[in-house]
């Protein structure tokens, strides 16, 4: 592991994390992607977001999840050649458990994506519902993904010191453009830059949502810029000082797609992830 000797500037608006970096499998290639959402101009799309370019999010996946009598769409991220990280609640509808999960990958345009069926999935043992935390799951693929293509790459998993509290992060997905939207998923992946709250901000957010504080979560505060239905399970990423991106959160829940959103805090689950997918190296 390499420790950074760079320190956090006093202005959170210019700070990017410089902590340790994890990647699954061990690789120096994770997280190198030209995400430009921090520079975008808002458009009337997914809660204030904009279209992503074809190769901008090589780790982002779309999950088509079949239940006995229902279907759900979610997001996820490639963290290893056979492993996808997502939210536990994506794999449940009421009391039903997912019967089949299809993973679509390889492009920001849904019609261009390749697909592979999941072999198995692992839901956190303490998950009951997203309001009580532990909203994290792993999906194991039937076959390995080929990382020789620039369009298919894993995302690094960040540590606590990589989370830019009070700064900016980026979330993307193929979910609804508004809370009352319906119909098929949109064709082009949408990206949006969001303000990451401090611990105090998040406690205030829980109060606004009339819920108790959820353990091991982080929150974003941007008004009219947030994930929506179909974006659950997708990655929240932050940029390090060397321009690499790391995943710090998983879309969990929020307030009517209008602003405050809650994410499972990835750094708190690194040991759990390692336990299920194997040893990691930085």
Catalytic residues: 89, 135, 232
As a whole number of angstroms, the distance between CA 122 and CA 259 comes to 30
As a whole number of angstroms, the distance between CA 86 and CA 101 comes to 12
Cβ-based burial of 14 (10 A; exposed 0-12, middle 13-18, buried ≥19): exposed
* Residue 137 near residue 122, CB atoms below 8 Å: yes
Closest CA to 168 of 197, 146, 144: 197
End-to-end CA distance of the chain: 5
Q: Is 134 helix (H, G, I), strand (E, B) or coil?
A: coil
As a whole number of angstroms, the distance between CA 23 and CA 29 comes to 9
Kindly state the DSSP code that residue 109 receives in the 8-state scheme. B
Cα separation values, 156 from 94, 95, 160, 274, Å: 32, 33, 13, 13
- Residues 237-256: b if buried by 16+ CB within 10 A, e if exposed: bbbbeeebbbbbbbbbbbee
Counts of helices then strands in the chain (DSSP H, E): 2, 17
Cα separation values, 233 from 66, 137, 139, 166, 253, Å: 16, 9, 11, 23, 10
- Asked if omega into 87 is within 30° of 0 (cis), the reply is no
């Amino acid at each position: 592991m390499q420790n950074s000797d760079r320190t956090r500037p006093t202005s959170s608006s210019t700070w990017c994390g410089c902590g340790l970096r994890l990647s699954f499998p061990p690789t120096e290639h994770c997280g190198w992607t030209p995400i430009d959402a921090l520079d975008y101009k808002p458009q009337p799309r997914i809660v204030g977001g904009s279209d992503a370019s074809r190769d901008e999010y090589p780790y982002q996946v779309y999950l088509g999840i079949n239940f006995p009598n229902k279907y759900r769409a979610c997001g996820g991220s490639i963290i290893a050649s056979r492993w996808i990280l997502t939210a536990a609640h994506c794999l449940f509808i009421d009391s039903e458990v997912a019967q089949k999960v299809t993973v679509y990958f390889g492009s920001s345009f849904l019609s261009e994506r390749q697909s592979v069926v999941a072999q198995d999935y692992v839901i956190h043992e303490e998950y009951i519902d997203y309001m009580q935390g532990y909203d994290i799951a792993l999906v194991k693929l039937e076959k390995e993904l080929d990382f020789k293509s620039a369009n298919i790459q894993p995302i690094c998993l960040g540590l606590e010191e990589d989370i830019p509290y009070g700064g900016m992060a980026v979330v993307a997905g193929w979910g609804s453009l508004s809370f009352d939207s319906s119909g098929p998923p949109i064709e082009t992946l949408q990206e949006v830059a969001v303000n990451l709250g401090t611990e105090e901000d998040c406690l205030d957010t829980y109060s606004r949502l009339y819920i108790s504080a959820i353990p091991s979560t982080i929150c974003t505060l941007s008004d009219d810029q947030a994930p929506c239905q179909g974006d659950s399970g997708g990655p929240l990423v932050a940029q390090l000082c060397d321009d690499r991106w790391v995943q710090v959160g998983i879309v969990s829940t929020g307030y009517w797609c209008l602003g405050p959103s809650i994410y499972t805090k990835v750094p708190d689950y690194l040991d759990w992830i390692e336990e299920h997918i194997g040893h990691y190296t930085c």
